[in-house]
Structures are given as structure tokens and as C-alpha cells.
Amino acid sequence: MANFLDAYSIQNWLESCPQGYLEDTVYGHQTGQSEPDLVLENETIREDAIRTTVQLVMGERCALAASSGLINLAPDHASKRFLATQTLDEARHVEVFTQRLYDLGVKKADLESTLENYVNPNLAAFAGVLLEKVDKGDFIAGVVGQNIVLEGMAFSVFEMMHAVMQEINPKFAATLSGTIADERRHVGFGENRIGSLIKEFPERKPDIEKMQKEMTYHMLATFASQFSQTTGAIEEARSLRDDANQEAGVEAQKQVWNGTDLMAAAPEDMEKVLSDSVLKEFKVRLARIGIDYQTPVAP
């Protein structure tokens, strides 16, 4: 347990996160960075950015509720302390993505109605499955649902968005890269802590596999509807980019992520590369903790 204690201690968190990659950041990015004019001035692109960011806020609110709920369920103090650091990370993620909504022009008074308006019902269902486990006091299922399934998903979504954004929106990309570093730590904790608990309580496996299957179903449904809603904004952004490139006489840049050029791929191909990447990660991570991945029916 020695390595586990060191790697997931508050001391390590302080050194690597607030005193490390977050040092001198403001809401997760450098001072002075702002949303690009293209996002702020084009209504289709701005609304799409708001819709996407709403899903991030809602996902992070779920992680905040789950990680804080898991503190009192944890069977050992090292896990409680780690989950306390994770709770602060998730609260920060909620804050930075909420701040992005304000940066995109959402009024503070309209925050909750904006979230309600744009939240994907499939994502709400996904969160509901996890939070029910936490509310019932089920630590093992709660950690698998949060630190393997929710965060495995978040990790790939953020990575893909980071690949898209790094050239066109360095401010948002910076916010994402700090979040990715946090999620990597959270996923690592899930794998390290929960494997031994599942060995100890193998009778819990069927229930956990059922939860994973349900969450995966809602996740895939979320991806399908998000990508179908984003098609117009992608086309708009690409046509503006092509015009600008033509004027400047330069070639369109490529941004290849897991074998797909995100700057040119059709939205359904982007959905496929994201789904494939997340499911591949799920299988690897679940196998490491002794859980057999269950394939849901196609949404």
C-alpha cells in the first residue's frame, strides 16, 4: 500500500496540481487568453460551443456529487484523503467550464436555465445510474462508475476536444489540458484501489457489470445525439476556415487523433472514432480490475 499512499496523497496532489501544472493559471488558462472572435461573433458556432460546454458542466457536476459522496463510503483513510482532493478537482472543473459559459456570453442569472435547456437527456440518464449507486452507499460500484466509466469517458472526450482546439482555441485547449491531467490521476486511483476490492468481493461483479452496461448505453446515445446536433456548426466553422485559408493561400491543417483527421472527418466518423476510443479504454481498464466489459444494445 506504500506506493498507493504516496501517489494519491494530498502532498503529492499539492505538488503536482496547484503548485504544478495549475500554477499561475486563471480558470485553468493563462491570464489574457480569451475565446477567439470566430466563436464569439458567429451565432451558430457560439451556440454550439455553449451546448457542448453545458454537457461538460453537467458531467463535472455529476463527478462532484459522486466523488464527495464517496468520501464517507470509503473503507480506508488513504482513499478518503484522495477523494477529498478529487472532490476539489471536480469542483474546479465545474467552475472552469461554468466560467467558459460566462465567457461565451451566458448571463449569470441565466446559468441554470441554460443548463436545463441544453443538457442532453442521455447524459442526465448516464449520471443518474452512477449517482443512484453512490446514494445507496455502494462504494465499489460508485468508484467503478465514476473513476473508470465516467472518467474514462471524460478523458477521451477531453483529449479529442483538445486535439480539435489546440490550434483554433488555445484558451479552451489550456483549460482542457489541466482537466485531462486531473482525470488521469482520478482514473489511476480507480484502477489501483478498486482491483483489490473486487478480488475481495467477487460476488459484486454482476451488479457492477450491469451498471457499466447501462452507463455505456447512455454514453453512446449521448455521443450520437451530440454529434448530430453539432453538424451545422462544424460545417460553418470549416467553410469559414476554408475561405480564410484560400485568401491566405495556405493549405488546411490536419489534426489526426487516433487515426482520424478531426479537421476534415464527417461528424459521424468523429463520433465513431470517439466511441471506439472510449470503448477500447473501458475494456482495458475494466480487465485490469477483473471486470468483464458488457456490450450494450446499440442506442
Binding site for Fe ion (CB under 5 A): 60, 63, 90, 93, 151, 183, 186
Smallest separation, CB 153 to Fe ion (Å)? 11
Smallest separation, CB 78 to Fe ion (Å)? 18
The smaller minimum CB distance to Fe ion, of residues 62 and 237, is found at 62
CA distance 51 to 115: 8
Smallest separation, CB 158 to Fe ion (Å)? 9
Smallest separation, CB 274 to Fe ion (Å)? 17
The smaller minimum CB distance to Fe ion, of residues 51 and 93, is found at 93
The smaller minimum CB distance to Fe ion, of residues 178 and 255, is found at 178
Smallest separation, CB 90 to Fe ion (Å)? 5
The smaller minimum CB distance to Fe ion, of residues 191 and 260, is found at 191
The smaller minimum CB distance to Fe ion, of residues 42 and 99, is found at 99
Smallest separation, CB 5 to Fe ion (Å)? 20
Smallest separation, CB 64 to Fe ion (Å)? 8
Q: Using the Cα atoms of residue 26, residue 27, residue 30 and residue 33 in order, give the sign of their dihedral.
A: negative
The smaller minimum CB distance to Fe ion, of residues 186 and 193, is found at 186
CA distance 167 to 3: 38
The smaller minimum CB distance to Fe ion, of residues 53 and 260, is found at 53
Query: What single string gives the DSSP state of each residue in the chain?
Result: -HHHHHHTSHHHHHHHIIIIITTT-BTTB-TT----HHHHH-HHHHHHHHHHHHHHHHHHHHHHHHHHHHHTT-SSHHHHHHHHHHHHHHHHHHHHHHHHHHHTT--GGGHHHHHHHH--HHHHHHHHHHHHHHHTT-HHHHHIIIIIIIHHHHHHHHHHHHHHHHHH-HHHHHHHHHHHHHHHHHHHHHHHHHHHHHHH-GGGHHHHHHHHHHHHHHHHHHHHHHHHHHHHHHHHHHHHHHHHHHHHT-PPPP-EETTEETTTS-HHHHHHHHHHHHHHHHHHHHHHTT----PPPP-
